[in-house]
Amino acid sequence: MTTDLPLPTVRLRPKGDARALRHGFPWVYADELVVDRRTRALDAGTIALLEDAERRPLGLVALNGQSKIIARMLDRDPAASIDAAWFEERIARALALRERLFDAPFYRLIHAEADGLPGVVIDRFGDAAVIQPNAAWAELRLAEIAAALKAVTGVSVLVKNGTGRARGLEGLPEETLLLEGALDGPVPVPMNGATYMADLMGGQKTGLFYDQRPNHAFAARLAGGGRVLDVFSHVGGFGLASLAAGAASALSVDGSAAALELAEAGAAAAGVADRFETRKGDAFAVMEALAEEGQTFDLVVCDPPAFAPSRQALDAGLRAYERVARLAAPLVAPGGYLGLCSCSHAADLSKFRNASARGIGRGGRRAQLLHTGFAGPDHPMLPQLAESGYLKALFFRLVP
């Protein structure tokens, strides 16, 4: 999808932070851009030349007047062509990093702005890949992204996952489509010695959360040969990794029957089904019930959804994280371990750590903070964009 016509030009207001953009910040907010009748007439996803207030070029941006992020930086070279070669170069550069990091092709291949494709997420599952076009420009260029992905990686199965809050903020509809190839069912994914079953068409997000890979591994070391409780488990993340490392048993708790069925299938595929149990229900209610039953575990890990997806939700989200910690702490055996996770970018590490510590204290326990984990290296962070470092995982030892 290329054209020889000159690109439209848009300009920052004097209050726009041109220096931040030159130093790598990837977004322009709506109140930073001159929005006149001509600019308002441009279709969502249009690529334009961005200039500063003095009309000096800053680079090529993708526009969306319906979004608070009105422009996303695509290329700082104003003469660049956003064509097939451009997409292939970005994907090849990302692939080279993942192939250095991982022995098998199961990873996040494109992590949006940090990999130079703003608003685009691509997770790879062997011969299959799931594309999330979370920005209007990516929705418009999906066919080009898919073609470049095939050319660079050789994958033969392509899925479009068009769900999630980010698309709503861009004014995009929700839909999941099989773009190419065929799927017989969930895809088995080897990770940390465990097998996970990823539903690429009907599962949460792209079907699996690769970002927790290093935190699964750390938790599995803490589990030893003990009992493990994995709360908000999805398809068995922490529990299955712990069983692969020799845990005596694991109980996975989730509100989704479909996710727990996939967890059970993963346990069976890895030959650990005899040590694996599931319990469907509201996580808070199940933790309260386990406490009433007098159950304790050598390792408890809670990996809830984003309780604070925005600044407006921050206070309520921090109260929810505190409540998780308060209910989880009494379930940890004396001298055992507690892992608490947050994928809320609005709740920074300090706020999340403080909420977790308050909750542990309110749960009647004292703790040592052993380790702070983040997303794996297939989820690189753009240093100028705090939102790209969203995942936090805190591991505590609860002292007797």
CB within 8 A of 6, min separation 6: which ones? none
160 DSSP β-pair partners:
131, 177
What phi, psi does 233 have (nearest 5°)?
-80, -15
Contacts of 306 (CB under 8 A, 6+ apart): 317, 342, 343, 344, 345, 390
- CA nearest neighbour of 331 among 240, 238, 231: 231
Chain centroid offset of residue 340 CA: 16
> In terms of Cα–Cα distance, which of 151, 155, 37 is closest to 92?
151
Averaged pLDDT for residues 259-268: 98
**pLDDT band at 218, cuts 50/70/90?**
very high
> Which pLDDT belongs to residue 388?
77
Band the pLDDT of 3: cuts 50, 70, 90. Answer: very low
Share of the chain above pLDDT 70, in %: 99
Convert the pLDDT of each residue in 338-388 to its tens digit.
999 999 989 999 999 999 999 999 999 999 999 999 999 999 999 998 877
Strand partners, 396: 338, 369
276 vs 45: CA distance, rounded Å: 47
pLDDT, average across residues 188-208: 94
Collapsing DSSP to helix, strand or coil, 380 comes out as coil
pLDDT in tens, 163-179: 988 899 899 999 999 99
Q: Pick the catalytic residue: 155, 300, 343, 355?
A: 343
Lowest-pLDDT choice from 94-103, 189-198, 199-208, 266-275: 199-208
Q: How far is it, in rounded angstroms, from Cα 230 to Cα 303?
A: 8
CA distance 160 to 183: 13
The model's confidence at residue 4, banded by pLDDT at 50, 70 and 90, is: low
The structure tokens 């709740």 sit at 347
pLDDT value, residue 72: 97
Cβ 220 vs Cβ 192: under 8 Å? yes
**Residue 16's pLDDT is what?**
86
14-65 pLDDT, tens per residue?
Answer: 988 999 999 999 999 999 999 999 999 999 999 999 999 999 999 999 999 9
pLDDT of residue 2 exceeding 80, the answer is no
Average pLDDT, the chain: 95
Share of the chain above pLDDT 90, in %: 92
320's enclosing H/E stretch is helix 314-328
Distance between CA atoms of 87 and 67, rounded to whole angstroms? 23
Residue 33 gets which letter from DSSP? B
Q: Positive or negative, the Cα torsion across 200, 324, 309, 174? A: positive
Mean pLDDT, residues 158-166: 93
In the chain the domains, ranked by start, together with CATH numbers, are 9-75 (2.30.130.10), 84-180 (3.30.750.80), 187-399 (3.40.50.150)
Contact 198, 186 (CB under 8 A): yes
Residue 102 has pLDDT above 70, yes or no: yes
pLDDT at 5 over 80: no
Q: Is the pLDDT of residue 400 over 90?
A: no
302 is catalytic: no
- The reported pLDDT for the residue numbered 165 is 87
Tens digit of pLDDT for each residue in 131-150? 999 999 999 999 999 999 99
- Which pLDDT tens digit goes with each residue over 292-326? 999 999 999 999 999 998 889 999 999 999 999 99
- Examine the pLDDT at 89 and tell me if it is beyond 80: yes
Name the E strands within 37-174: 47-51, 57-63, 69-75, 106-111, 120-125, 128-133, 157-162
